[in-house]
Amino acid sequence: MTQHPDLAAALADLTVPLPPGRLVGADDGREPLLWISDAPAPAGLWAQLQRAHPHSGLWPLLLSPLDRGDADYRPWLSGELYPSDAAIPGLYDPAALLGSWWETGEAGGYGEDGELAEALAPYGFTWPGTAPAADVPEGVAGGEAQELADVLQSVKDVRLGLVRAGGGAEALAVCGWSGPVNHVDDIAQVAAVLADWERRFGARVVEVGFDTLELSVPVPPATLAEALPLAAEHTSLCPDLVFQGTGSLTEYAEQLVGAHQWSFWWD
């Protein structure tokens, strides 16, 4: 991948025409963190930019606001971006993070509560370990991401964002997104887990909201047995999926069978 000294230089070298937009930084005055379009992203542009990424170094994201019609388009135009110079996703072991969150966080941090243990059946408060990697044919992940981007652009008011990063997971850390802050306050840890899902499952970060995340999945689990350990990983990162959602890990796992889209939200 071509290395650029900064975001502005990467944009200047970009061969894909962009609609009107602006550079956005954090409130602390540091250099720009991302570029965002001034209006909803034109159809097909996300896909063009994803294909150009190996040469441009710019990863495209579809960006949505906290509230539809929000003039500040929070958090993207309101300065609510918090990158950390020390937050490097590669420093973290994603499997260790998931296990720690399961055993000490909302998934397992309630002692011997029988009702919660039942919700987490068949694992209870014992971390089951990470799910086996999927067999993802070469080139399939990008195509699935493009399909999801097309669907989201057709039904939602999303703008286009560009971040100088190696992929979607890294882009979240670079731009300082803080959606899961009430569960995990270090976005680099979240990015480490997402990068591992990119490697193991071909998942791609497509859309990011104030506290929401949409990923594409080229090869979803085909059976409940395959989906259950994956559901545990999702719940470890985002406990609301079960505790404020389906009510049980098994019911959430059933939703993952055959699903090409993973959706996350944090309170």
Residues 88-135 have pLDDT tens digits of 667 899 999 999 999 886 555 544 556 788 899 999 888 999 999 999
N-terminal to C-terminal alpha carbon distance within the chain: 36
Q: Which residue in 38, 36, 41 sits closest to 23, CA to CA?
A: 36
The DSSP H or E segment spanning 68 is: none
How many other CB atoms sit within 10 Å of the CB of residue 115?
Answer: 7
The average confidence (pLDDT) of the chain is 90
Please state the pTM of the whole predicted model.
0.92
d(CA 84, CA 10): 21
At position 249, the amino acid (one-letter code) is: L
Q: Give residue-wise pLDDT tens across range 179-227.
A: 999 999 899 999 999 999 999 999 999 999 999 999 999 999 999 999 9
Contact 126, 102 (CB under 8 A): no
